[in-house]
Amino acid sequence: MNEPNDATGPISVSRSRLPRSTLWRYGIGSLGTGGFATLPGLVLVYYLTDTLGVTALVAGLILTISKIWDVVIDPVIGGRSDFSLVRSGSRRRFMTIGGVALPVFFVLTFAVVPGLAPAASAIWVTVAFILCASSFSLFQVPYIALPAELTRRYDERTRLLTWRVVVLTVAILLFGAGGPLLRDLFPDDPYLGYLVMAIVAGVILGTGMLLSSTVAPRNVPEPETRPTASLVQNYRGGIRALIRSQPFRALLATYMLQGLATGMMLAGAQYVATWVLRSETAVTLLFVALIAPALLLTPAWGGIAKRIGKERGYWFASIIFFIASASLVMLMWSPGWWIFVPVAVAGAAYAGMQALPMAMLPDVISHDAERHGEGRAGVFGGLWTAGETAGMAFGATALTIMLAITGYQESVGVAVVSQSDAAITGIVLSFSVVPAIAMLLSLITLSRYRLRRADIEPEEN
């Protein structure tokens, strides 16, 4: 059916069951989103500190700068995406530009010339990664907005996002395990190893994004509608969305805190493998332990949500992840391969922590549109992307602060260094206690989310 909307123009929103072609074309985009969230989060800090010789604090500053830039531009991209939908009838143009540009800048991020001074290397990575993050936002922001426009049904959104998270978990496994394996094929030349890794990953990232861009609905724009918005108006739109939608504030705060927790653990995994388990390649096994349960149980979380509600399922997943992450503090006293058990439990919970809030977001968007008579899916998508990337980045930044405080020693190329007991303790705390605290805080914000099925489909109750 076609429903006019004063901010986004006519949008075809289905009340029927989504075809499989829509599910897979939307889901394949998570090869790009999941891969980009995983691989830089896993190896970029380690690349900076243990190959380029950049200090931990500077490495953290690089990530912080890039994510502050994300926070600045994502609401603007969201607003522009909404207006592009009115002008052209589709968000596809933004997604396509992002899918083409991201692989180029991703490769440049890991193509630092050997022999550069750490300061010059830091500048190179900062510029390249900001351009890379900007390209990612051009795809991610409209991609996040699409579920609210593809279907109106509460359970169909869960089904759509469950497929997406299945692909997301595959992407995390593919990039999280495969990326370091590619890099480690060149142990005597880490610069070449990272470059090969980036080229292969960039091709896969771009392919997934470009294929997924074809799912964006194409509608006939209204010729008389030619809205424009200034930079200030785009930010005002985002601020209004935050102020008026309490469910969005609660969901976004929860997701940001959990992004901080998972971002810190993701960035710390390589350090745990190298300095706690004493096996640099163990990071691949850690990812297999994390993702195998997630891949198997993602559909189960969709069934749980259908039975008890998305928000209750999200509660259970978050509590399980909190317990699993807190238990990892035992690495301080007994490092060993038992770590794979709590990591696997965390992986099972992580599937729910991804699928359910993503399925709740389009409910928030449509609920806001019903109450306020305007569709601002792009604005909400921009705010969500900014919050998600900021949470993940600040998790990595928090790790670098812990490393600096506890005296972690950086290195250049294949140089060998040793770490103090204090530095190793900092690594363990960054992988367990600190993420667990962030998860505990996220349960408080999640308790403030009160949107239920009856608010989305009142006619069925």
Condensed to tens digits (0 to 9), the pLDDT of residues 247-281 reads 889 999 999 999 899 888 888 888 898 889 888 77
Q: Read off the pLDDT of each residue in 204-229 and give the average, rounded to a whole number.
A: 72
Q: What is the value of pTM for the model shown?
A: 0.71
Residue 322 reports pLDDT greater than 50: yes
Residue pair 38/176 in contact by the 8 Å Cβ criterion:
yes
The pLDDT of residue 73 is 84
At 457, the pLDDT band (50, 70, 90 cuts) reads: low
**Would you say residue 19 has pLDDT above 70?**
yes
Instruction: Please report which confidence band the pLDDT of residue 338 belongs to, taking 50, 70 and 90 as the band edges.
Output: very high
Average confidence (pLDDT) over 74-83:
78
Nearest CA among 110, 102, 97 for reference residue 33: 102
Q: Do 78 and 238 contact (CB within 8 A), yes or no?
A: yes
pLDDT per residue as tens digits for the range 170-192: 888 889 888 888 998 998 899 99
**Model pLDDT, residue 10:** 39
Token pair listed for 282: 């163990």
> If you average pLDDT over residues 395-402, what whole number do you get?
86
> How much is the mean pLDDT over the chain?
82
pLDDT tens for 84-93 read 776 766 788 8
CA distance linking residue 393 with residue 44, whole number of Å: 11
If you search the block for the tokens 């058990």, which residue do you land on?
341
Give residue 114's pLDDT band: very low, low, confident or very high (50, 70, 90). very high
pLDDT of 4 reads 37
For residue 11, pLDDT over 50 is answered with no
pLDDT for position 8: 38
At 290 the pLDDT is 79
Q: Which residue did the predictor score with more confidence, 415 or 350?
A: 350
pLDDT band at 407 (very low <50, low <70, confident <90, very high): confident
How much is the pLDDT for 96? Answer: 92
Average pLDDT over residues 408-430: 80
State the average pLDDT over residues 415-440: 89
The C-alpha atoms of residue 351 and residue 324 are separated, in whole angstroms, by 14
Question: 315 falls in which pLDDT band (50, 70, 90)?
Answer: very high
Q: Which domains does the chain have, with CATH numbers?
A: 20-221+239-452 (1.20.1250.20)
Give the pLDDT confidence score for residue 63 in this predicted structure. 82
Candidate from 7-11, 20-24, 191-195, 240-244 with smallest mean pLDDT: 7-11
The answer for residues whose C-beta is within 8 angstroms of residue 10's C-beta and 6 or more apart is 2, 3, 4, 89, 219, 220, 221, 222
pLDDT of residue 329: 95
122-134: string of b/e by CB count within 10 Å (b at 16+)?
Answer: bebbbebbbbbbb
In eight-state DSSP terms, residue 91 is S
- Write the CA distances from 20 to 23, 27, 66, 311, integer angstroms: 5, 10, 36, 26
Q: By mean pLDDT, which of 101-110, 112-121, 230-239, 420-429 is the weakest?
A: 230-239
Length of the chain: 461
The mean pLDDT of 225-234, rounded to a whole number, is 51
- Poorest-pLDDT segment among 39-43, 133-137, 206-210: 39-43
203 has a pLDDT exceeding 90: yes
Angle at 305 between CA 286 and CA 259, to 5 degrees: 40
pLDDT band for position 12 (50/70/90)? very low
